[in-house]
Amino acid sequence: MLRPRVRSLIAWMPLAALVAGGIWLGADRVPPDPHAVIEIHGEVGTIPAELPARFTFATFNIHRGKGPDGRVDLERTAAVLGRAKLAVLQEVAGTLNGNQAIPLAEAQSAVSVFVPTERQWGLDHLGNAVLSRAKFEGIHRIPLAGTRGKAFRTATLTRFRWSRETLSLLSVHVDSQDDRQRQLTAVIDLFLALEPPAILAGDLNTPVDDPMLATLLARDDVSASLPTEPTLAPVIDWVIARGATLSEPTHDWNDASDHPVVHVRVGPLPDIESNSD
């Protein structure tokens, strides 16, 4: 006959198995719901309806707000990011209170959208974001095909009013391993299919000598944030435009991330008359 303590342990075994299974399932990274609503955070009513004719643009892989010292400090991230009119961020962490883009947008007097790339523990765990000091005209998520199981990637297509036209912004974080070429091909094809003016920006995990990227940059209708001075490491964070000019690019290495923040001035093509900001 079983002793009472043994019987008690046996009785608790199904519950323990259920808890262990829940922990295992919760810890697994899964893709986000592609139909979930994308929310705009911030004071939408206080920002202009249109971007100025010339404005500062930024792309920054914020590495979840963690610097090379291993410390998460979003105030440091915000200081490095500066006050761009439009910025795209990669490796933005989700939190119980929302996501890291919300306080970063507040520091910019901007509004933000967060597009998750994966979920964990029932929450949007990681993703990309767009911070804007002009109103969004449209927001679309585009899942990128992958074969690595848990390395989920998503492109974000947003649109804004600019110089009496619609500016399309395709922001991405391309895989660094097996799926890089497949995703890069899809991203470049989508970028070239957009009606200009259009910007492709983000962490492409691709240096300038990659044949596919080099072919894109060689086009007469394309301009890019090529560094004017030597950089600490090969450039893999890019701003690329069609139907717009890019000038004054900077690739600033910093203590807020393991990536530089790239700033560039966006302007209309020379034959477009418009007032500057």
244 residue type, one letter: A
Q: What is the mean pLDDT of each run of 10 residues along the chain (277 residues)?
A: 56 45 52 84 94 97 96 96 96 88 95 89 87 97 82 93 96 94 97 98 97 97 90 93 96 95 96 51
Please report, for the chain, the start and end positions of each structural domain, with discontinuous segments joined by +: 1-30, 32-267
Annotation: CATH topology of 32-267: Deoxyribonuclease I; Chain A (3.60.10)
pLDDT at position 31 is 79
In angstroms, rounded to a whole number, what is the distance separating the alpha carbons of residues 89 and 246?
Answer: 19
Is the pTM higher than 0.75? The answer reads yes
